[in-house]
């Protein structure tokens, strides 16, 4: 099992990474700084988004799950999904990345 980075520190690292790459990023919702779950809302700037949820595989390695499916969904559908998750977990982080060119790559495999 690989060590788990605190959520707040991971978010700060992503903000810095995106800033360096000139990719717009926003923290839409702050969660628990130590152990909050993380949702990434990847906006393609064409009215569609994909939501990724941080998770672990059976061996404890970090992965990202396509929470809204394999294909991008309308932004309203993505926002509805995020609202449901926030209702279930008040400690969740929500990060939005605006990346029309698809340059942002998560730090772990997407499943």
Quote helix, strand, coil % in the chain, to nearest 5.
25, 30, 45
Per residue in 60-95, pLDDT tens?
899 999 999 999 999 999 999 999 999 999 999 999
Cite the DSSP H helix spans in 1-111.
Answer: 7-21, 75-88
**pTM of the entire structure?**
0.92
pLDDT tens-digit series, residues 22-66:
999 999 999 999 989 999 999 999 999 999 999 999 998 999 999
DSSP-derived letter for residue 70 is S
Phi-psi region of 66 (alpha: psi -120 to 50; beta: other; left: phi over 0): beta
| Residue 81: alpha-carbon gap to chain centroid | 13
Q: Can you give the residue ranges of every domain in the chain?
A: 7-98
Rounded to 10 degrees, the C-alpha dihedral 107/44/31/88 comes to -110
Q: Give the Cβ contact number of residue 4 at 10 Å.
A: 12
User: Quick one: 7-98 is in which CATH superfamily?
Assistant: Protein of unknown function (DUF1491) (3.40.1530.20)
Provide the pLDDT for residue 44: 93
């Amino acid at each position: 099992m690989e060590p788990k980075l605190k959520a707040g520190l991971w978010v700060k690292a992503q903000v810095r990474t995106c800033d360096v790459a000139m990719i717009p990023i926003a923290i839409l919702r702050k969660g628990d700084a130590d152990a909050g779950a993380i949702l990434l809302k990847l906006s393609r700037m064409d009215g569609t988004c994909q939501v990724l949820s941080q998770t672990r595989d059976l061996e404890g390695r970090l992965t990202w799950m396509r929470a809204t499916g394999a294909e991008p969904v309308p932004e309203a559908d993505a926002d509805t999904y995020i609202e449901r998750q926030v209702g279930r977990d008040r400690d969740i982080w929500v990060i939005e990345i605006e990346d029309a060119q698809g340059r942002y790559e998560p730090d772990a495999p997407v499943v």
